[in-house]
Structure 1
Amino acid sequence: MRLDSAGDEALPAFAPALAMEAPIPNADSSVWSVPLRQGVTFHDGTPFDGADVVATYNAVLDPGSASEIASAFAMIAEVSSSRTATGETVTFTLAYPYADFPSRLLLAIAPSERLTGGPAAESSLNREPVGTGPYRLSELTADRAVFTANPHYWAGPPQVSKVTTVYLPDDNSRVQRVAAGEFDGTILPPALARTFTSKPGFGIESAHSADWRGVSLPADVAFTRDPQVRLALNHAVDRQAMVDTVLAGYGEVAHTPVSAVYGDAFDPAAVFPYDVDKARSLLAGAGWSPGPDGVLVKGTDRAAFTVAFRPTDSVRRDLATAFAADMMRVGVEVTLAGLDFDKIEPRVRDLGILLGGGDKPFSLDTQVYAALHSPLPGTALWDNPGQFSTPARDAALDQARRTLDPERRTSLYRQVQADYLTDPSYVFLVFLEHTYAVRDSTWQRAPVTIEPHSHGVNWGPWWNVASWTR
């Protein structure tokens, strides 16, 4: 399936891509049948068929691949394909009924011959990708990739014949090169994107997202292990100020990973009002009192912990700085550390981390399950690294993904949010609105879409470049 967006104010629909039509569930949504499109070829000229779908899903589920997305497909018990005189069908047999299964059919399919086993990180597909999409990789260096139109694309070759992407991590360098005419556009932090409002021939475009930023709280620090402390920290944060300053207004406050885009399942009452007095009262009630330097203490423990953030990400840096300032107002000392994730990983239990999430936002289950559920076997390290949850929350999340009745699922997700208000595991801060500087052009473009955590030049105005027309 592929995304079919009418704009970034609501979740996109799913449209058939390599499927011939929408997936067909059995009576209890535990078996899903997907008729396949015929006559599709991969970029290397080999034919696409059901064996490729089966091999791709099995590769993700194979523990030997160490796939970081495997937990999102844990409901799949078996994948098989069958052929009749009228075509081919892939059948997904699930371990339990799962109404949101179409969201799991957004996975890109690789040729079975290229899925040779072993760790996904070592696959040749990382450097030599082969797919069925509208563009194929024709050139790759350490900082540049060139994609050319696939003349055999099943929906017809795109009118934009070549797309070049350049890896340039420094924000200011990208600003200069876009302004100089070297690039047609780029992703930028909101404050830098706004500098293009007065540049002739350029504009700012933005896209709403389910991409949250928040602080995970360390499991092995006595201070943050206390649920009352975690509740107090949530009330001590001025989220709106972060939206207004760090995001220059391009974003929304986040109290949980559930945003208004999820409709009735979003509970507008699930908020932690900014209330410094309440935060101080909760901390005092948990036994924390001011020490000689103003930092709260409880016996030999100090109200202090370190928050790590990726140093090349200015938005994370600035959010972490604002968070630390808010914490100091209530007597909590937050030390900031700019660290790459390979340095954070071995210290995940004793560091707070300025994290981003919402990497699979097109189903509410994948938006919240890994972030809020107690870690399960195969769960990615960055999913709920503090490992805080409650039995009630876990039960509601488990029931919601197995429940077919949409009203019952809505009720369960509201229960999750209500439970989270009593025992939070993070301090969620904001939902980003991704901002892009774009050169004016004569291309006619389709609407943007709600964006996931992963974003950049493969999203924003260019996410559907294959559909552009003149």
Structure 2
Amino acid sequence: MRKLLALALGIALLTGCASAPIAPPDTLRIVTPYKVKSLDPIKQGLWSPEWGYGELLMRATDNGGVEPWVLQRLEPVNGTQWRLVLRSGVTFSNGRELDSAVLKTVLERHLAENALVKANLPGAKIETPDANTVLLSTSAPVVNLPNLLADEQSVTVFDPQAQGVYTGPFTVSKLDDNELVLARNPKYWGGQAKLSEVRVRFVPDGQARLLAVRTGEADIALYPPTDALGSVKDAASGPRMATASQPLQQLRAIPNLRRAPMNDLAVRRAFALAIDYDQLAKQVLDGLYRTPKGIYPDAVPYALETQRTDIAEARRLLDDAGWMHSSAGARVKDGKLLRLTVLTYPQQPDTKAVAVALQAQLSAVGIGVQVTEVQDNYEALKGDAWDVGLSFDGTLGYTYDPIGPLRDFLTSQGSKNFGGVADAELDNLVSDLRTTTDTNARTPLLHRIQRVITDRGYLTVVAQRSSAAVVGGAFTGYRPSSVLHHVTATTRAG
């Protein structure tokens, strides 16, 4: 009853009246579960390229690569130095020019305040030989710098002398707890944006987001719950489902190695073997996901098939480790039941559907599951009141980078090492990978890394998909971005 009441209230707030207002053709209305909390370029800068009011030095593309964005080119000088050459004529929305001196200040600010940038650019030193060029030197090779500079959580480009001023085709005209409103930037260096206004409303309930498109209150609903897509996934008219081209979104199960029972290797391996990945993708998630075979999407040439379902092997591992059957359903060892607290979060409603399915699948080998929903999955994962965290993250990130996400999530010094992985061999392998410039020489390193991660139960990819959206109104031709660039200068009705 409470859930129904909350949904009704959410719908009422969205609709306000029985008939939805008609938006001008150059206005786009989007509903999303993720709230932009501020215009802080370090703490909340990731939203700026997603919503078109900011840009990055490099840009990930939907065809599987990265390319210069506000840079004209990025080129290695030697093993530990890169030359960054700015495009001429790039300005902030206040008209100030982006030159090498400004970029130097931006980079220094990120190095001082952005843990991700500091960790990935060791011993960074910055020089400005001319007005358009920055030389970036590091104490060790950073072979994935093009990918790092295309990462929305890395170096966002902002005016260090002004608050909330960026270089994108839109500017922020309003931001509060409910809505982000963007207006066309008349001074945009890349030419006039197709849209004059974008209105982004923060709607946490997935059903309410879909209803907003159905009633004409919104044109696009991002992150739709799979269980509500049945009537729109094959629709020929009206609201329909659209998907991105690249399967970069992975639903990953992160084990908490800092506490029992997931500090037991046998439990971690049994957990991964007891999951029926095919059933999750084809039945629980209605065929809208792909069955993962390993920790990397099978589209990349170095991906190995390291995951499988093997109930008998899972049971044997638990038997050998001393986990005994009990009348409670869950196994027991030393008087403690084998029960896992699995975290889900409402911004990604499919996490709950998967967690409920895992309850049934894992019970077949004697592992109990308690599903707990948290409002902010990363904040919850920083704590210790959990055993498995379900989180949509990719081992390629959104920049096709096989190195950065490994370092951030799975090495002892990683800024997102929520599970507490501390493995000297894995640290050394990732360190070697980060400094290996020969692409062919990286492949055996990547193969060994994948085997270590799987054999030691450090990560399980539960399902993978391409980003989806429900589109309607004048924007039925909209296709979601594989790399989360939801709105750009070229976004238009049609």
Q: TM-score range by the shorter chain?
A: 0.7 to 0.9
- The one of 193, 208, 224 equivalent to 2:229 is 193
Is 1:203 aligned with 2:227?
no
SS at match of 1:194: coil
SS at match of 1:266: coil
1:308 and 1:109 map into 2 onto residues whose CA distance is: 34
Is 1:26 aligned with 2:77?
yes
- The one of 379, 384, 387 equivalent to 2:420 is 387
Is 1:264 aligned with 2:304?
no
Mark the runs of 5 or more structure 2 residues left unpaired by the alignment. Answer: 1-56
- Give the letter for the 2:334 counterpart: G
**Structure 1 residue 335: Cα displacement:** 1.4
SS at match of 1:289: coil
1:21-170 to 2 correspondence within 5 Å? 22-28=73-79, 30-62=80-112, 65=113, 67=114, 69-70=116-117, 73-75=120-122, 77-83=124-130, 87-106=131-150, 107-114=155-162, 125=163, 129-170=164-205
- Give the letter for the 2:127 counterpart: S
Deviates more, 1:166-175 or 1:300-309: 300-309
**Structure 1 residue 70: Cα displacement:** 3.4
8 Å contact kept, 2:60–2:398: no
SS at match of 2:64: coil
8 Å contact kept, 2:242–2:480: no
**Structure 1 residue 199: Cα displacement:** 7.0
- Give the letter for the 1:339 counterpart: V
2:477 and 2:391 map into 1 onto residues whose CA distance is: 36
**Structure 1 residue 365: Cα displacement:** 0.8
Flag the 1:34–1:444 CA change in 2: closer, same or farther, 3 A.
farther
Alignment partner, residue 12 of structure 1: 65
Deviations 1:279-328 (CA, angstroms, capped at 9, x unpaired): 10111111211123232122233212211222454211111111222111
Flag the 1:345–1:233 CA change in 2: closer, same or farther, 3 A.
closer
8 Å contact kept, 1:158–1:466: yes
1:33-432 to 2 correspondence within 5 Å? 33-62=83-112, 65=113, 67=114, 69-70=116-117, 73-75=120-122, 77-83=124-130, 87-106=131-150, 107-114=155-162, 125=163, 129-187=164-222, 188-196=224-232, 197-198=234-235, 200-207=237-244, 208-254=246-292, 256-261=294-299, 263-267=300-304, 269-271=305-307, 273-311=308-346, 313-341=348-376, 344-345=380-381, 347-348=383-384, 350-358=386-394, 359-374=397-412, 376=413, 379-380=414-415, 383-432=416-465
SS at match of 2:156: coil
1:469 and 1:217 map into 2 onto residues whose CA distance is: 43
Q: Which runs of 4+ in 1 moved over 6 A?
A: 442-445
Flag the 1:259–1:389 CA change in 2: closer, same or farther, 3 A.
farther
8 Å contact kept, 1:144–1:165: yes
**Structure 1 residue 134: Cα displacement:** 1.1
**Structure 1 residue 404: Cα displacement:** 0.4
Is 1:3 aligned with 2:59?
yes
Deviates more, 1:178-187 or 1:143-152: 143-152
- Give the letter for the 1:56 counterpart: V
Q: CA RMSD in A?
A: 2.6
SS at match of 2:188: coil
8 Å contact kept, 1:303–1:332: yes
8 Å contact kept, 2:219–2:471: yes
Deviations 1:429-469 (CA, angstroms, capped at 9, x unpaired): 01132211112648977x76533xxx5xx53xxx4453548
**Structure 1 residue 17: Cα displacement:** 2.4
Alignment partner, residue 31 of structure 2: none
The two structures have a TM-score, normalised by structure 2, of 0.80
- Give the letter for the 1:354 counterpart: L
8 Å contact kept, 2:469–2:480: no
The two structures have a TM-score, normalised by structure 1, of 0.83
Alignment partner, residue 490 of structure 2: 466
8 Å contact kept, 2:82–2:137: yes
- Give the letter for the 1:80 counterpart: E
- Give the letter for the 2:261 counterpart: F
Flag the 1:155–1:346 CA change in 2: closer, same or farther, 3 A.
closer
1:443 and 1:319 map into 2 onto residues whose CA distance is: 29
2:69 and 2:117 map into 1 onto residues whose CA distance is: 22
8 Å contact kept, 1:223–1:301: no
What number of residue pairs does the alignment pair up? 428
- Give the letter for the 2:179 counterpart: R
2:489 and 2:365 map into 1 onto residues whose CA distance is: 49
**Structure 1 residue 96: Cα displacement:** 0.9
Deviations 1:98-133 (CA, angstroms, capped at 9, x unpaired): 22211222332111214xxxxxxxxxx5xxx21111
1:46 and 1:246 map into 2 onto residues whose CA distance is: 52
- Give the letter for the 2:425 counterpart: A
2:106 and 2:285 map into 1 onto residues whose CA distance is: 38
Alignment partner, residue 117 of structure 1: none
Alignment partner, residue 119 of structure 1: none
1:312 and 1:450 map into 2 onto residues whose CA distance is: 18
- Give the letter for the 2:65 counterpart: P
SS at match of 1:81: strand
- Give the letter for the 1:328 counterpart: S
SS at match of 1:47: coil
Alignment partner, residue 435 of structure 1: 468
8 Å contact kept, 2:250–2:392: yes
8 Å contact kept, 2:468–2:480: no
**Structure 1 residue 74: Cα displacement:** 3.3
1:256 and 1:57 map into 2 onto residues whose CA distance is: 35
- Give the letter for the 1:13 counterpart: V
2:465 and 2:295 map into 1 onto residues whose CA distance is: 12
**Structure 1 residue 156: Cα displacement:** 0.9
How much identity, in percent, do the aligned residues show?
Answer: 21
- Give the letter for the 1:181 counterpart: G
Flag the 1:79–1:360 CA change in 2: closer, same or farther, 3 A.
farther
2:139 and 2:491 map into 1 onto residues whose CA distance is: 37
2:356 and 2:344 map into 1 onto residues whose CA distance is: 10
Deviations 1:190-213 (CA, angstroms, capped at 9, x unpaired): 332332244733321112332221
